[in-house]
Amino acid sequence: MIYSLLIIILVSIPTYFYIEIEKQSYKQTKIQELQRYVVGVEKNIYDFSNSIDNIYNFPRSFLYDSYIYDKNKKSIFSTNANSFSFVYFEHKKNLIYKKVILHTNRLNARYLIVSRDFSYKDIYTKFFIFALILGMIVFFLALFFIKMSIYPFEKANKYLNSFFNDAMHELKTPLGVMQLNLEILKKKEKTKEISRLLGSLNSITMIYEDLEYLIKYKYVDYRKEHIDFSNFLSNRVDFFNDLAENKNILITHDIADNIYFNINRVELQRIIDNTISNAIKHSNKNKKIDIKLYSNESAIIFCVKDSGYGIIDTRKIFTRYYRENEGRGDFGIGLSIVKNISLKYNINIEVESSLGEGSTFTYTFLK
């Protein structure tokens, strides 16, 4: 559409000047036709004066109106049902006329005025049709060439989507097997190495789940479920304990019992996981993270407070691919996913942060 409009604007500039020239030519042609008719009427008056006829038949026309006036400029005759004053024509718009001073004649007429209605309607109609046809031709040509030009990109994008879907599917099974076996090993022999492996694997799993959601959310219908928020959050806290232990971070939690909310399980997990993982990722070693879940009559409050580096600009962190510090390994997609889900479920997000002291993320789920 933009391309078509630009082409039409470019074409309209010379067209405008052409129309002005065409209008002048059109008006001049009509004036010349009028003059020829006036000459005919004038000759007819003189012929009658030189004849012996007693009855004068004034020339009639569907295009032209004729008026004759005496030497005092009083109306003698007109082919129009209305008789206009001598100066009427000077102030009338959309009209062309010709005044002629007559010689002595039997009608005692001194002035002849011939007029006709005049407008540029025909010119404008012609150019409107021309512009419409031109616009349609330009639009469909532009559409055709754009489709032809983007076809390779659409094809590449289709292959890329197919690759991502296949890759995500292939990664899911080995990730699950690795996590299951590491958890079994940890139960048999709890060592720092196994805890670190499990924590790292959990980080990879988080990235995998974010990417999977990002690929699927546009065409997968994530339906609401009546979820035990309390139990679900407790399980996710347990999931992140290994990741926190790698940095000697203590996760404390105060989770009220029997809190339920209608939300999709996958989308609730994305909110919880991204918030807790960011708190761990951006907290210094040997610090603490506080997690709270409670409710009142109107809302459920989920709060995560860390002791991290702090956030420079809290307004930008929910923008996709935005990273305040590229050295910390962020992809910049987690919080943008959280923002989209929050908008979907009308969840209010408040972020408080102090540089060097930490940040607090508070989610208000309206009942």
Residue 330 has pLDDT above 70, yes or no: no
Q: How confident is the model at residue 325 (pLDDT cuts 50, 70, 90)?
A: low
What would the pLDDT profile of 77-122 be if each residue is shown by its tens digit? 999 888 888 888 888 888 999 999 999 998 999 999 999 999 888 8
What would the pLDDT profile of 201-218 be if each residue is shown by its tens digit? 777 887 787 777 877 777
Judge if 242 and 358 occupy the same domain. Answer: yes
Q: Would you state the pLDDT for residue 362?
A: 95
- pLDDT average, residue stretch 188-199: 77
- pLDDT average, residue stretch 216-224: 79
Residue 269 lies in a domain: yes
Q: Would you state the pLDDT for residue 331?
A: 64
- pLDDT average, residue stretch 32-45: 93
pTM of the predicted structure, to 2 decimals: 0.55
Report the amino acid identity of residue 257. Answer: D
Percentage with pLDDT > 70 across the chain: 96
Query: Domain residues for 102?
Result: 2-119
Beta-carbon count within 10 A of 325 CB = 10
Residue 33 has pLDDT above 80, yes or no: yes
Residue 14 lies in a domain: yes
Residue 169 has pLDDT above 70, yes or no: no
Residue 31 has pLDDT above 80, yes or no: yes
**Cβ atoms 293, 259 nearer than 8 A:** yes
Nearest in space to 45 (alpha carbons), one of 112, 96, 136? 112
Domain boundary pick from 79, 95, 119: 119
Residue 329 has pLDDT above 70, yes or no: no
Domain boundary pick from 84, 119, 154: 119
Q: How many folded domains does the chain comprise?
A: 2
Beta-carbon count within 10 A of 48 CB = 17
Domain boundary pick from 97, 119, 141: 119
- How many helices (DSSP H) and strands (DSSP E) are in the chain? 6, 11
Residue 328 has pLDDT above 70, yes or no: no
